[in-house]
Amino acid sequence: MWGSISFIHEYKRAVLALVVLSVAAFYGAAIAYPVGHLDRDGGALPYAGVTHVAAIDDPMIEIASVFDLGPTMDRAGFVLKPIRRGDALVPRLFVENLPEDFNAPMAIEQRKQTFIRTVLPLILKANEEVRSERGQLMALEEQVSSGLEIPEEAQLWLDNLAEKYRASSNDFTTLLRRVDTVSPTLALAQSIEESGWGRSRFSRLGNALYGQRVWSKGGGFVPEERGEEEKFEVRAFDSLFESVRSYVVNLNRHYAYEGYRAERSRMRSGKTPFDGRRLSGTLISYSERREAYVESLAGLIEGNRLWQFENAQLSSEPVNKDILLAAR
């Protein structure tokens, strides 16, 4: 079954693919994108111009109303039950923004299904990009350990990657701990917790799925409950995917989440699948609610069986163009 494919096998395939590619083609896929303030807890500086390796250039779709989302996903064959069982792949259906009426009244189960089907593909796409970075990083580590010189283009890519993840380009141990995929289980739980199943104004108007903060005035939305002495805003994003991508980089590089990365590294070294329930317990610094926040994540994971999405994988096939056109 698809859900049984291990991360290790994926990385081995990635490394083998790199051997086939030429250096020029290997690094010619790099594109730059700005990241900006990424953390909730302070200390992060603005950052831009990161060289990033693109995965598949997928089209994003705009949906005018939340009530059009479900039918579009149905036409794409996007059904959660077989994905939970590991019997089906997740369609490459990527929603650009949450419709403004996402907070409209609807049945609880309908809302949950719609939200998960909106966010899960974006999480898997972000992991797809990180997996590409990690595969290339592992190939370079193997090259260096073999005593071979890294080409200039490859060194530039490595330097940019190290700057993005705030590590030394010579420290492959730290880089490999940081350049890694996130748990879909945990990423779903946090998006639910932070956005209220997509009903918050931050998520509907600013694509903010993870409550990330910014300290530059006008960079986002001012929370109604913010104290008079506080200066932060909830960062707004141009798209839902940019929000997910920012969250992934945040977990992978901020000092407050070193415990999360250490636990994830132990899971990987033990050749066991990521356990979002265990990983959630390491994020006590993600919210000022601390223990209560972690308990809430655990409740969401168990109550909605989010752990069943841990091994979910994206299809390699694009969604039928007629479905994408009909959604516009």
- Ranges of residues in the chain with a pLDDT under 50 are 1-55, 215
What is the model's pLDDT at position 328? 65
What is the model's pLDDT at position 273? 83
Sort 45 into a burial class: Cβ within 10 Å, 0-12 / 13-18 / 19+: exposed
What is the model's pLDDT at position 101? 94
The pLDDT tens digits of the residues spanning 61-70 come to 999 999 999 9
The alpha-helical segments, DSSP class H, found in the chain are 7-20, 23-28, 66-75, 80-85, 108-145, 152-164, 172-178, 184-195, 201-206, 240-253, 258-269, 276-280, 291-303, 321-327
What is the model's pLDDT at position 15? 40
Phi, psi of 52 (to 5 degrees): -130, 140
The pLDDT tens digits of the residues spanning 164-190 come to 999 999 999 999 999 999 999 999 999
Instruction: Provide the Cα torsion 286, 288, 289, 291; round to 10°.
Output: 60
Q: Rg (Cα) of the chain, in Å, rounded?
A: 19
